[in-house]
Amino acid sequence: MEHGNQYDDWSSFHDLVAPAESAAAGAPMALPMGNLSCRYLINRIGTFNPHSEDFIRSGPAYVAHWLRYYAFSRHSLMLSWLWGSVLIVITMLRGRRRARHAPHLRRAHLVANGAAQGLTSEQVDRLAAGFSRPVSEQLWRLVRELWLDRLALMALMVGGTIALALTPIPLWVKLMVPLTAFPLTWFLWDGVFSASIFDYVTRLPAAARRIADVTGVAVVVMGHTHQPGVTPLDRGRTLANSGTWAPVGAGIDGEPLTPGKQNYVVVEVGAGAPVVRVGAWMTSEMEPVVVEAPEAEPALAR
């Protein structure tokens, strides 16, 4: 899995140890939202993703980007987005139904796996208590993230405008409602129900402290915040963030996309406190960085 961790709503599995849809041999996995988004959306619509916070451009830059790369060559962009979004919802709901293992089975899977790693059932329960609820069980958040709610609202506004045009009422009413009430409704809707898909990032230090408290480890490694780095939790304990991928462009005028950083975390354990380093196997010049020993200088130190 290239996405996230079990403390991220968008990449949480229903059953972390047994993520298949059923116990049958060859059964497909009930993939989280992050993986399905890569498969059905990002692979189809490319870098035109203005509502996602990891594709950072200004408003005019997005318009220029769309005109340059999509307006005259990608006529099916909206259909690709709509069909991909529908596929994500259908796949997640189907996988949720099939993978809804009984709670006692999920716990048994975790306890058995934890025992193999030297953890007691109490420790496993304390760790599992911090797991995020998969977004497939939060249908409203899923629909919001895919902009399907705003598509439905826009369809209602278009239908309302047509109905007003066909209704025998004064012309000023026909004009004022679409020009004032509809935009106000749109912005109120978007403002009241807005939420960031990266809210979980602020919860990572607390989750890392929980893991460190339960297991007694000195270093906790996570990823998928797109911001690699090393964060001290408290005395003697550290959170290392591998950051994972970074599919952003440096500009829109012929400049290449920033390559996905194949990041690594090196934890050097010795007599004293562990030494934690975060680096990248690939530099911005697309040249691999070979790490021959833990003490090698990382290419992307934080």
Interval 274-295 mean pLDDT: 60
Cα–Cα dist 74/72, whole Å? 6
Query: Do 268 and 128 fall into the same domain?
Result: no
Query: Do 227 and 89 fall into the same domain?
Result: no
* The last residue of a domain, from among 192, 225, 246: 192
* The last residue of a domain, from among 129, 162, 192: 192
Query: Do 119 and 97 fall into the same domain?
Result: yes
Q: Is 227 a member of any domain?
A: yes
Query: Between 212 and 300, whose confidence is greater?
Result: 212
Q: What is the pLDDT at residue 120?
A: 92
Q: Is 133 a member of any domain?
A: yes
Query: Do 21 and 152 fall into the same domain?
Result: no
Query: Do 153 and 269 fall into the same domain?
Result: no
Query: Do 64 and 156 fall into the same domain?
Result: no
Number of domains in the chain: 3
Query: Between 268 and 294, whose confidence is greater?
Result: 268
Q: Is 137 a member of any domain?
A: yes
Q: Is 197 a member of any domain?
A: no
Q: Is 283 a member of any domain?
A: yes
What is the pLDDT confidence band of residue 128, given thresholds at 50, 70 and 90? confident
Q: Do the beta carbons of residue 3 and residue 10 sit within 8 Å?
A: yes
Phi, psi for 279 (deg, rounded to 5): -150, -175
Query: Do 77 and 129 fall into the same domain?
Result: yes
Q: Which residues of 127-165 are buried (b: 16+ CB within 10 A; e: fewer)?
A: beebbbebbbebeebbbbbbebebeebeeebeeebeeee
Q: Do the beta carbons of residue 147 and residue 78 sit within 8 Å?
A: no
User: For the ranges 79-88, 262-271, 280-289, which has the lowest average pLDDT?
Assistant: 280-289
Q: Give the pTM.
A: 0.67
Q: Is 69 a member of any domain?
A: yes
Q: Is 18 a member of any domain?
A: yes
Q: What is the pLDDT at residue 92?
A: 84
Q: Residue 260's domain spans which residues? A: 202-302
Cα–Cα dist 221/244, whole Å? 12
User: For residue range 219-229, what is the model confidence (pLDDT) as tens digits?
Assistant: 998 876 667 78
Query: Do 18 and 135 fall into the same domain?
Result: yes
Q: Is 138 a member of any domain?
A: yes
Query: Do 221 and 80 fall into the same domain?
Result: no
* The last residue of a domain, from among 125, 146, 167: 146
Query: Do 88 and 183 fall into the same domain?
Result: no
**49: pLDDT strictly greater than 60:** no
User: For residue range 148-169, what is the model confidence (pLDDT) as tens digits?
Assistant: 888 899 999 999 999 999 989 8
Query: Do 135 and 44 fall into the same domain?
Result: yes
Cα–Cα dist 223/228, whole Å? 8
Query: Do 176 and 284 fall into the same domain?
Result: no
